[in-house]
Amino acid sequence: MDHLDAERGYSTHTLRAYRANLQSLSDYVEGHGKTLQMASLTDLRGWLSRQRVGTQANSKPLAPATMARKVAAVRSFYRWMIREKFMDASPAARLKSPKIPRKTPRFLDVPEAAAVVEQPNQQGWFLDRNRALLELMYGAGLRVSEAVSLDVVDLDLRNRLVRVMGKGQKERIVPFGPPAAEALKHWLKQRTPTGPIFLNRYHKRLSARSAWRIVREAGAANGVTGLHPHALRHSCATHLLGSGADLRAIQEQLGHASLSTTQRYTHVDAAHLLKVYRAAHPRSSTEGSDG
């Protein structure tokens, strides 16, 4: 855990998940009279099989993405064991990760995004905070964890820039637009000039869970059900692409380690373009033609 935290820069959420997975695996192999160092590929597959189906009669099989994360945790652990010379070979080397269906990222149309960020629910102090949060998340394409981790010192309102600490403790400087700047100025006037940007009712740092709820409720208030923070990030990327931004620029904006991650948005934009074309172009269908 120290290695993943200090050297790999994993998030608290990921560390918690890896720890739980490895503890579960340790308990499983102990039940078979072994330690993690003694575990075989068969033991790992047996543990994963039990994890997938669960121990309750009515348990639903875990999703491929969840299983893939468990495999990643095990592989990572045994790589570390070899690096530290606790083992010579990894029993997880031949462990296969399930295929994860590639989903098209959900995004909002520009009018939908504008309605959500400009008209969140709640009133007064909370309304101003929510509007500033939503405008910044959409305007800068931030992850929810990045947004709630921001301090006032990270903001450069004059130049409309924010310093963000992303995945793997990688820092980047991200621009945002005038609407987000105005919302942030209005919000910051109502609170102390230092500390976390986004506060809860007790004037402590807003949690990621609370930010999720704010996004979901803002969506519901504007007719967008099941909205989640990543949809605002996806919308930012899609709208940038649709307005002519190149993939490298979007990669820098979002803090993607790989350009292949950013390339998902080319498919999103193409799908959106096709939808608009079919709805609007007079020659998008064969109806009424001569054949």
- The pLDDT, as a whole number, for residue 91 is 94
Instruction: Please spell the DSSP secondary structure of 173-215, one letter per residue.
Output: EEE--HHHHHHHHHHHTTS-SSSBSSB-TTSSBPPHHHHHHHH
From CA 280, how far away is CA 278, in angstroms rounded?
6
Q: How confident is the model at residue 88 (pLDDT cuts 50, 70, 90)?
A: very high
From CA 150, how far away is CA 165, in angstroms rounded?
8
Q: Is the pLDDT of residue 242 over 80?
A: no
Q: Are residues 116 and 70 in the same domain?
A: no
pLDDT digits (tens, 9 = 90+) for 180-200: 999 999 999 988 889 999 999
CA atoms within 13 A on the CB side of 165: 12
Least confident of 166-175, 204-213, 266-275: 266-275
Q: Which domain holds residue 125?
A: 110-279
Of the residues 45, 68, 83, the one at which a domain ends: 83
Q: How many CB atoms lie within 10 A of CB 238?
A: 25
Residue 100 in any domain: the answer is no
Between the CA of residue 128 and those of 29, 134, 182, 229, 235, what are the distances in Å? 52, 10, 11, 18, 22
Q: Are residues 239 and 132 in the same domain?
A: yes
Q: Is the pLDDT of residue 276 over 60?
A: no
Q: Is the pLDDT of residue 122 over 50?
A: yes
- The pLDDT, as a whole number, for residue 74 is 95
| Contact indicator for 111, 176 with CB cutoff of 8 Å | no
Q: Are residues 126 and 50 in the same domain?
A: no
- The pLDDT, as a whole number, for residue 291 is 44
- The pLDDT, as a whole number, for residue 288 is 45
Q: Is the pLDDT of residue 35 over 70?
A: yes
Walk across the sheet containing 161-165 and list its strands: 155-156, 161-165, 171-175
Query: What's the average model confidence in pLDDT over 62-77?
Result: 90
Residue 219 in any domain: the answer is yes
Query: What's the average model confidence in pLDDT over 11-21?
Result: 88
| Contact indicator for 185, 128 with CB cutoff of 8 Å | no
Biggest alpha carbon–alpha carbon distance for the chain? 77
Q: Are residues 155 and 200 in the same domain?
A: yes
Query: What's the average model confidence in pLDDT over 257-263?
Result: 67
Of 121, 122, 133, nearest to 180 by C-alpha is: 133
Residue 240 in any domain: the answer is yes
Residue of higher predicted confidence among 269 and 106: 106
Catalytic residues: 143, 167, 230, 233, 256, 265
Residue 92 in any domain: the answer is no
252 Cβ contact partners less than 8 Å away, ≥ 6 residues apart? 172
Read off the tokens for 264.
């998902």
Determine the number of helices (DSSP H) and then strands (DSSP E) in the chain. Answer: 13, 3
Q: Are residues 130 and 253 in the same domain?
A: yes
Of 223, 227, 201, nearest to 213 by C-alpha is: 227
Read off the tokens for 97.
């990760």
Strands 171-175 and 155-156: unpaired
Q: Is the pLDDT of residue 289 over 70?
A: no
- The pLDDT, as a whole number, for residue 262 is 64
- The pLDDT, as a whole number, for residue 218 is 93
For residue 201, give the CATH number of its domain: 1.10.443.10
Q: Angle at CA 136, nearest 5°, toward 186 and 238? A: 145
Residue 58 in any domain: the answer is yes
Q: Are residues 68 and 180 in the same domain?
A: no
Instruction: Please state the domain count of the chain.
Output: 2
Query: What's the average model confidence in pLDDT over 15-37?
Result: 94
Q: Are residues 246 and 134 in the same domain?
A: yes
From CA 203, how far away is CA 199, in angstroms rounded?
5
Residue 76 in any domain: the answer is yes
Between the CA of residue 179 and those of 139, 155, 186, what are the distances in Å? 8, 15, 11
User: Which helix (H) or strand (E) covers residue 171, if one does?
Assistant: strand 171-175
